[in-house]
Structure 1
Amino acid sequence: MKNAETSTLLTFTFQNWTVVTSILGVVIVVIATLYVYRRSGSFFFLRDRVWRFFDGKQTFDDPRFEKMRKRARELEFFRFEFNIPVKSFSDAERAEKWITQHQLPINDVSLSRSIINWDDFADIRLRTYLTTQNIFTLLRVCVITLFLLTIASTLLIANPFVLMHFKQNGPSFYVAKNQVYLEIGAAPLTVADCSSAEKLAPFTTKDFTSNRLDVLCQILLPPFSDGHEGRIADQREISALLTAEIFACLVFAIRLLAKVKAARRLERQISVRNGCVACAVRRHGIPEYEAKRLLGQHS
């Protein structure tokens, strides 16, 4: 049944390949448009193209209006280029002054947008509670853990075993085609082992009693054994979905770690530029002589 459903889905995909690719194209365009809007904060660039497409007038005759039009698009370009949510030219000038005054890398500023408090451009500050060593270490642990989970779930997709267990907190076991493994690395239980009590004796344990072994022997016989391929397919679908979810979390965690790391570089640079050697030493673990050397370069 499962194979028939998969075959039907593949057949539909190939027969409607043009429709599928068109839908994917629309999705990509929508995602790209939303990304640009998130950075630029407006759709002037899109409206200008639509207006030109309909042969609309592109400039104002009144120089005051034309100046307003150009300034609005200049701000949109500033927001998109530097990923700084300015609302006016004075905001842009203050942001530029803050970056220049502290000699901050523009890439780090752009990457740290969500960790910088932009509420008051006259007093731009980092959200330092998000840049502590504990937060940074926690994110690194999360990235490593998610990476290992991604590998494990990926291996589970190709796993030929189905994990099953007895009811009422019973022991788990692994079912393969014509074989049952009571634990990983142990000798498999086969149909031949089920032919006599003497052959089953080596498999008898506290968890796997003779009654439970009889149940496992029934699993190896039709009609239950006939559905093994379907159960493998179901497990692989669940594993693939789990892998996709874990991978998405991994990408998000890596992105967040990069933001925090960039913000910590900004904080260190600001501390050094402000002459706070102790801040750079305490918050970022910079050797005191290195902080003083950097301070000497900026003085």
Structure 2
Amino acid sequence: GDFSQLNKMSESVETQLPAGDADAAQIVQNLEDDERKEREEKKKNREPPIVYKDAIDVHIEFDTLVGLIDGKLNEEEQQSLEELHQYMLQDEGSWALGENFLEFIGRLLTDKSLNEGVSLRTLNVLAAAALKDDVILMLHQDRRQHIMMNYAYGVDRLPLPQQQALTLFICNLFENLGSSEWLLYISEWSYNNNQISNIRVTTKVAVNAILSEDEDMRDRGTAILYNLATKEVFDDVAVELTMAVLQFLSKPPPEAQLFRCLKAIARFCQISAQDVPQLIQMIGPHPSSFKGSSQRNDDLIAEISRKVR
């Protein structure tokens, strides 16, 4: 009896152990599936971000880009362009992007010898890429050189169309958890004599857009603001964004933009319970001056008013 019992046990152990590569691959696959399920679960349970899924026709942008850089690329860059094509139009994963890919993107964004439309089309393609759930792997390639964030730090010096596209890129990165967390990284590096970090740049892009004269920019800026407010940000970011929002609110915005602003202010009052309410009192306008635009906004105004004398 004992012997057959032992036999059964050893059989069951054997079935649990990987029999070579196929089983090992299966185990990895199962782990990846579990991770994906967990990510999807998290995604379902969070406040959905505001992103722009239909702002870009990636086929048109890509084809236009190819036309503009035709004959201007070396072999390595040609390869990177092919990788971009596979990633964006053939739906390959971001594993298709080689290690020089971001240097190629950096050239397209900053090379003054190229047509000005090149950087615009590149940013638009990136804004579409930002919605992909594995874009984080591309962003992680940028750990050492910070090509994307150094470029974004100069947002206020770019022509308006490039500012719009860059703001869209940053906003759309909030679509997935990994890339939205990337936007909040606080580790610093030195760039043009400034200590900057991902969150500094994200904040700068948001403020630049919120305070723009351009309607599209303000819309995207308030979307980034709203998205940041659903995250864990530090006091200094909450204060900086609040100051920009109060300036933005000196003219009454459309209901949807007002909602994003009020939602952010309500959240920032929690994060920075002393400074933010004080700022609202000192600078104004008091949120109560916006009463009556909608029920959801009135609810937020009531919530903020409890914190602000």
Q: TM-score, normalised by structure 2?
A: 0.27
Higher-Rg structure is: 1
Higher relative contact order, structure no. (Cα contacts within 8 Å, ≥ 6 residues apart): 1
Structure with the bigger percentage of strand = 1
Q: TM-score, normalised by structure 1?
A: 0.27
